[in-house]
Amino acid sequence: MISEREDEGSQVSSSVVVTTHGRVATLTLNRPHALNALDRQLMREVVEAATSLDRDRGGGGGGVAAMVFMGSERSFAAGADIAEMSSLSHVDAHTDDLFSEWDTFAAIRTPMIAAVAGYALGGGCELAMMCDLIIAADSAQFGQPEIGLGLTPALGGSQRLTRAIGKYKAMDLILTGRTIGADEAERIGLVSRVVPSEQLPEEAMRIAESIAARSVPVLYAAKELVNTALDVTLQQGVRFERRVFRSGFGFADSAEGMSAFLPRRDPDFTDQ
Q: Which residues are catalytic?
A: 80, 123, 126, 146
* DSSP result, 65-89: -EEEEE--SSEEE-SB-HHHHTT--
Contact 126, 153 (CB under 8 A): yes
Measured between alpha carbons, how far is 198 from 18 in angstroms, rounded to an integer? Answer: 21
Measured between alpha carbons, how far is 137 from 154 in angstroms, rounded to an integer? Answer: 25
- For the chain, how big is the Rg over CA atoms in Å? 19
- Give the E-state strand segments of the chain in sequence order: 2-5, 16-21, 24-29, 66-70, 75-77, 112-116, 119-121, 133-137, 141-143, 179-181, 193-195
